[in-house]
Amino acid sequence: MTTDWALLRELTEAPGVSGYEAPVREVLSRYLGTLAPRLGTDNLGSLIAERPGAAARPRVMLAAHMDEIGFMVSHIDDGGFVRFQPIGGWWSQVMLAQRVRIYTARGPVTGIIAAKPPHILPADERSRPVDIRDMFVDVGATSRQEAEALGIRPGDPVVPASAFEPLGPPGAFLAKAWDNRAGCVVLVEVLRRLAAVQHPNAVYAVATVQEEVGLRGATTSVRAVAPDVALVIDTTVATDTPGIDRSRLPASCRLGGGPAVSLYDASMIPHLRLRDLVVDTARDHGIPLQFDVMPGGGTDAGKIHTASTGVPTLSIGIPVRYIHSHGSILRLSDLEHAARLIVAVIQRLDAATVDALKAMAPARAAAGPARAWTMPGVGVTAPGAVPGTGPVAPPGMAPPGMPPALGMPPAAGSPGTGAGTGFVPAAASWSDGTAARDPWGAGGSAWGQAGYPWGPAGVAAPH
């Protein structure tokens, strides 16, 4: 990946606290506008860039939030000190003595986050972390009138003041807001690469707003895109720093180890078939991959995967040290590997593959010859079913999705009424002569994951 210094610097230094993302959106619009024929926003401000491919469907949504954590002016006291409301998740110990800029209608005003000095604190207070409620921004004013004369007023965004800077090791960068300008960089890089390759789908690169305050931009933009499958690019905590016992963590990621597939977070359990596809693609292309578990956090995937009737979704994280602070560190190689991986996955997401994902079909073909089950006296055979791998109907109940057109009479004691609502699975068998396994009891027929379309609309038997 060629280092685009201008892009990295512009994105990280642009102010973009949740709800105030316009400067970041302007930067991304300039870059994405040259790579996508269509560019627009939803009514909350998320930026949507459409990149057509060989087919209009499936629609692949790539989402990366462009907002950062910060603060908002809540009021100015009589001494000219600015009180603030945190926006997003802050840890008080990383805030004191840090520079910030208040973005007013007249321009930015620099200040510093302060509190009572330790020299005059009682011993018991010196030993405790300072509560955020006791902090304020000092802009050098000595009265409310002097602060207001600078243009400061309630509601103005307050943004960490931290410059983009390359570090000593090649490809290491320090900046504010890598969470999640790193994902925004990947969005631009993926669309750049898609311009030079074929892909069997339509790609929608979405820079969402207000992720840090409740995944709000994802909630609206997913409705605008109506995707068939989604990949969320965000950051994750690099746990390769001193003092962390990695053996006690459910999973851990290191800087430079490649992107991380989320196995679990507080907002989503990933789509397992899509996860397998991504992991297999990384293996096939020799792309390093890590895994992540974050019980206390979440990403835009939490809202995207539950949209409409459900969207197969996976979150891919860029390892970053010290997220949710004034300065964080990443490695360019992790962005490179993430972009390579996502482009390779997009090239595999044709209509048949996405239909199989939605049907919960296996990511890999089942070993051995295909078998079919047969119901004596009914004359119905289900080709391609996989025995014993999915939920089945108990005796006296119809298989999920069985169409009435099959004309099966209800079995005695069946809760269903009418044709096609009951069957007795104990007599079912596989075409190779083996008995079908029934998790509900001895013998019987099992419903597999092969996605055989039972209903007239082609709805697969549920997994």
* 313-345 pLDDT per residue, tens: 999 999 999 999 999 999 999 999 999 999 999
Average pLDDT over residues 81-106: 96
28 φψ region: left (φ > 0), alpha (ψ -120 to 50), beta (else)? alpha
Lowest-confidence pick of 71-80, 130-139, 243-252, 374-383: 374-383
- 10 Å CB burial of residue 61 (0-12, 13-18, 19+) is buried
Give the pLDDT confidence of 95-153 residue by residue, as tens digits.
999 999 999 999 999 999 999 988 888 888 888 889 999 999 999 999 999 999 999 99
Tell me if residue 211 is catalytic: yes
Cis peptide before 58 (omega within 30 of 0): yes
Give the pLDDT score at 123: 82
Return the number of other C-beta atoms located less than 10 Å from residue 141's C-beta. 20
Does the predicted model carry a pTM greater than 0.85?
no
Residues in the chain: 463
Give the pLDDT confidence of 191-215 residue by residue, as tens digits.
999 999 999 999 999 999 999 999 9
Closest Cα to residue 314, out of 343, 266, 273, 286?
Answer: 273
Q: 267 near 179, Cβ under 8 Å?
A: no
Hey, what are 155's tokens?
């509601």
Average pLDDT over residues 337-363: 92
**Which one of the listed residues 68, 211, 212, 336 is annotated catalytic?**
211
Q: Taking 70 as the threshold, does the pLDDT of residue 440 lie above it?
A: no
Lowest-confidence pick of 93-102, 107-116, 344-353, 387-396: 387-396
More confident call, 119 vs 449: 119
Query: What does the alpha-carbon distance between residue 289 and residue 300 come to, in Å, rounded to a whole number?
Result: 21
Query: What does the alpha-carbon distance between residue 422 and residue 420 come to, in Å, rounded to a whole number?
Result: 6
Give the pLDDT score at 185: 98
- Top-level class of domain 70-160: mainly beta
Give the pLDDT confidence of 294-315 residue by residue, as tens digits.
888 899 999 999 999 999 999 9
Give the pLDDT confidence of 262-277 residue by residue, as tens digits.
999 999 999 999 999 9
5-68+176-358, superfamily in CATH?
Answer: Zn peptidases (3.40.630.10)
Share of the chain above pLDDT 70, in %: 77
Q: b/e string for 379-400 if b means 16 or more Cβ within 10 A?
A: ebebeebbbebbbbbebbbbbb
Each domain of the chain, given as residue ranges in start order, spans: 5-68+176-358, 70-160, 369-463
Give the pLDDT score at 421: 30
